[in-house]
């Protein structure tokens, strides 16, 4: 646990208080595990990892907590065409590259898109809050198989 995650943890706790969410060991551990994970895990994957440390943690709590945190903007649900929902801690702006074969999700930055204004046709649609690129392809590992 380095300074960054320490800081992230403190920020998380402050954000919970501000949102009127109680700080429970479950929420703290679920957030910590998600922040540490780099693979945009599903509820089930997170639960599998956490049960080692918190044997009584229920899968339902993981689902419920991820939903709660996402609805308060503390974490993000990732856009995918998979059947299982996957999550990530809302980090600095980034985009996703998804392997059609192994489903691994790779984060990348693309500031020219971040800074670009959306086309005029979109202006009359409503209020746009965020925009992300989702690219699909086959990663090198899978290409070699």
Residues interacting with DNA, by CB under 7 A? 17, 21-27, 42-44, 54, 56-61, 63-65, 67-68, 83-85
Retrieve residue 117's tokens: 């204004």
Residue 28 vs 93, nearer CB to DNA: 28
CB of 29 to DNA, least distance (A): 9
Backbone angles phi, psi at 73, to 5 degrees: 75, 10
Which helix (H) or strand (E) segment holds residue 33: the answer is helix 25-36
Listed ranges 23-31, 37-45, 57-65, 122-130: which one lies at the site for a copy of itself (CB under 8 A): 122-130
Q: At a CB cut-off of 8 Å and minimum separation 6, what does 39 contact?
A: 45, 104, 105
Residue 55 vs 126, nearer CB to a copy of itself: 126
Burial bucket for residue 28 (CB in 10 Å: 0-12, 13-18, 19+): middle
Q: At a CB cut-off of 8 Å and minimum separation 6, what does 105 contact?
A: 39, 40, 78, 80, 86, 96, 97, 98, 99
Listed ranges 14-22, 36-44, 56-64, 107-115: which one lies at the site for a copy of itself (CB under 8 A): 107-115
Asked whether position 106 contacts a copy of itself by CB under 8 A, the answer is: yes
Asked whether position 73 contacts a copy of itself by CB under 8 A, the answer is: no
| Site residues for a copy of itself per CB under 8 A | 77-81, 85, 97, 99-100, 106, 108-110, 112-113, 116, 118-119, 121-122, 124-143
């Amino acid at each position: 646990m380095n300074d960054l995650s320490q800081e992230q943890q403190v920020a998380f706790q402050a954000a919970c208080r501000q949102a009127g969410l109680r700080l429970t060991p479950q929420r703290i551990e679920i957030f910590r595990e998600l922040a540490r994970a780099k693979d945009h895990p599903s509820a089930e994957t997170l639960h599998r990892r956490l049960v080692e440390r918190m044997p009584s943690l229920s899968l339902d709590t993981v689902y419920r907590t991820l939903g709660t945190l996402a609805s308060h903007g503390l974490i993000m649900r990732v856009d995918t065409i998979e059947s299982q929902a996957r999550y990530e801690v809302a980090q600095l702006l980034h985009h996703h590259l998804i392997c059609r074969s192994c489903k691994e999700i790779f984060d990348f930055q693309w500031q020219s898109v971040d800074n670009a204004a959306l086309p005029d046709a979109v202006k009359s649609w409503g209020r746009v809050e965020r925009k992300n690129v989702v690219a699909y392809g086959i990663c090198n590992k899978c290409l070699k198989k």
